[in-house]
Amino acid sequence: MSPQARVAAALGVVQILAWGSSYYLMAVLAAPIAADTGWPLPWVVGSLSVGLLVAGLVSPVVGRTIARRGGRPVLVAGCLGIAAGLMTLALAPNLPVFVAGWMLMGAGMAAGLYDPAFATLGQIYGREARRAITLLTLWGGFASTVCWPLSALMLDSFGWRGTAAAYAGLHLAISVPLLLRAIPQAPRPQARDPVPPPELADEERRAFRIMAAIQTLAGLAVTIVSVHLIVLLGARGLPLAAAVALGALIGPAQVGGRLVEMAGGTRHHPVWTMLAAVSATAAGLVLLAASEWPALAMVLYGAGNGVYSIARGALPMALFGPERYPGVMGRLARPSLVAQAAAPLVGAGLIGLMGADGTLGVLAGIAAANLVLATVLLRQTRRLRDP
C-alpha cells in the first residue's frame, strides 16, 4: 500500500466513525430517544438540523485554521468535539441540554467531516491529492453500512445513552490515535511567509459562486432524499419492504460510481467529474419523479451522488490551487451545510403542500437546475484555463 493510500485509509476509518456517529446517528436513535424521554420526536430529529446549522456557521473558520495550522490538529479537534457532543447527549437530563450537545456536535462536524479531510489531503499532497480524495470517499461510502447496524446492536445492548457514550469512546480510542499517528502534519507557514488569503480574481469569483450554488442545491436535494425517501415512496403506494429495498440500492451505487471515477484516474479535468455527477443525479431524480424504472433511478441517483463527493473535493483544487484550497473549501461548505440544516423542514413542508408527486417533481427540478449550473461552470472553467 502506498503512503498516500495509507493516509486515505486512516482518514477513511475516521470518516466512517465521524459520519456514523453524527449525520447518520438519528436514523437509528431518534425514535428510541423520543420513546424513552417523552421529548417531541420533531425536536429530537431537528437537533441534527441545529448541528448542521452550527457546522455551516463554523466551517469558514475551520478552513482558515487549516490554512494556518495544518489539517491534523483541526481533524483531531473535530473528533474531540464530536466526542464531547456525544457525551453531552448521553448525559442530557432534558431537551435543551440535548440540543446543546448537538451544537457541540455541529462544531465537531465542521472540523471532522469531508470538507476538512479534503482540505487536509490537499494541503499534504497539493495537486496530486485527487486520488487520495477518491480513496477517502470510497471508505466514507461505508459509513451508514457499518454504523447503522453497529448503532442498532449497541442500542439493544446499552440503550441510546450507552450508544452515544460508546461512540464517544470509539473516537477517543480509534479516531484520535489514528489521526495523530497516520496523518502527516503539513509544514506550517512561517510568520515572514504568511499563507496567501483566499482572494479570488473576477473570473474565479464567478466560478466560486457557481460552485457554491451547485453545492447548496445539491445539499438541499440530497438531504431531503435521505430524510424523506421512504415516506415519499410509501406515499406513492410502494410497500415498506419495496421502498427500503430501493433505498438500499443507493449505497452500493455510490461506491460503484466512485470506483468508476477512480479507474479513470486523472485523465480528465474534475469539472467533467462534476458534470457527470450532476447529470446522473438529475437523470435518477427525473426518472423517479416520472415513476419510470425506479431501480434504475436509484442506481443513477446513487452513482451521481457518490461521484459528486469526489468532484466537490477535487474541482476547487484544480480551479484555485493548493495555497487557497483550505480557505475556499471552508467557504464553500457554509451554504451547503445551511441548506442541509433546512432540508428536513423544507422536505416536510413540500410533502404537506404538494404530496409525494409534487415533491419529487421539485427535487427533479432542483437537479435539472444543477445540471444547467454545471454546464455554465464548464464554460467558466474553460475561461480560467484559457484566459
How is residue 341 written as a grid cell? 440544516
Say whether both 245 and 152 belong to one domain. no
Of residues 25 and 161, more confidence is placed in 161
Domain stops at, among 182, 212, 244: 182
Mean residue pLDDT of the chain comes to 89
Residue 179 CA to residue 185 CA, distance in Å, equals: 10
Tens of pLDDT, residues 218-267:
999 998 988 788 888 888 888 878 887 888 788 889 889 988 888 876 67
Q: Within a domain: residue 190?
A: no
Asked if the model's pLDDT at residue 197 lies above 60, the reply is no
Say whether both 275 and 314 belong to one domain. yes
Say whether both 172 and 112 belong to one domain. yes
Asked if the model's pLDDT at residue 188 lies above 60, the reply is no
Q: Within a domain: residue 187?
A: no
How is residue 157 written as a grid cell? 445492548
- Per-residue DSSP letter, 94: S
The domain tally of the chain equals 2
Q: Distance of CA 207 to CAs 50, 250, 308, 328, Å?
A: 29, 29, 17, 12
Domain stops at, among 130, 154, 182: 182
Asked if the model's pLDDT at residue 211 lies above 80, the reply is yes
Rounded percentage of the chain residues whose pLDDT exceeds 70:
95
Asked if the model's pLDDT at residue 198 lies above 70, the reply is no
Tens of pLDDT, residues 326-370:
889 889 988 999 999 898 889 888 988 999 899 999 999 999 999
Q: What pLDDT score does 194 carry?
A: 52
Say whether both 161 and 223 belong to one domain. no
Query: Which parts of the chain fold into alpha helices (H)?
Result: 3-20, 25-37, 41-69, 71-91, 95-112, 114-125, 130-140, 143-170, 176-182, 202-235, 240-248, 250-264, 270-289, 294-320, 325-385
Asked if the model's pLDDT at residue 386 lies above 70, the reply is no
List all residues 6 or more positions away from 386 whose beta carbon is below 8 Å from its beta carbon.
none
Q: What pLDDT score does 262 carry?
A: 82
Q: What pLDDT score does 77 carry?
A: 96
Q: Within a domain: residue 47?
A: yes
- Per-residue DSSP letter, 323: T
Q: What pLDDT score does 238 carry?
A: 83
Rounded percentage of the chain residues whose pLDDT exceeds 90:
52
Q: What is the DSSP string of 127-174?
A: GG-HHHHHHHHHHHTTHHHHHHHHHHHHHHHHHHHHHHHHHHHHIIII
Asked if the model's pLDDT at residue 172 lies above 80, the reply is yes
Say whether both 111 and 223 belong to one domain. no
Hunting for cell 458534470 — which residue is that? 275
Q: What pLDDT score does 90 carry?
A: 97
Answer yes or no: are the C-beta atoms of 137 and 20 closer than 8 Å. Answer: no
Asked if the model's pLDDT at residue 196 lies above 80, the reply is no
Q: Within a domain: residue 92?
A: yes
Q: Within a domain: residue 189?
A: no
Say whether both 246 and 121 belong to one domain. no
Q: What pLDDT score does 271 carry?
A: 92
Domain stops at, among 182, 213, 243: 182
Q: Within a domain: residue 191?
A: no
Say whether both 223 and 361 belong to one domain. yes
Q: Within a domain: residue 193?
A: no
Tens of pLDDT, residues 42-99:
889 889 999 999 999 999 999 899 988 889 999 999 999 999 999 999 999 999 999 9
Asked if the model's pLDDT at residue 190 lies above 50, the reply is no
Q: What pLDDT score does 191 carry?
A: 43
Say whether both 228 and 257 belong to one domain. yes
Say whether both 72 and 161 belong to one domain. yes
Question: Measuring CA to CA, which residue among 45, 76, 83, 330 is closest to residue 198?
Answer: 330
pTM attached to this predicted model: 0.84
Say whether both 301 and 245 belong to one domain. yes
Q: Within a domain: residue 194?
A: no
Say whether both 222 and 367 belong to one domain. yes
Asked if the model's pLDDT at residue 13 lies above 90, the reply is yes
Q: What pLDDT score does 187 carry?
A: 60
CATH assignment at residue 229: 1.20.1250.20
Say whether both 58 and 120 belong to one domain. yes
The residue range of the domain holding 39 is 3-182
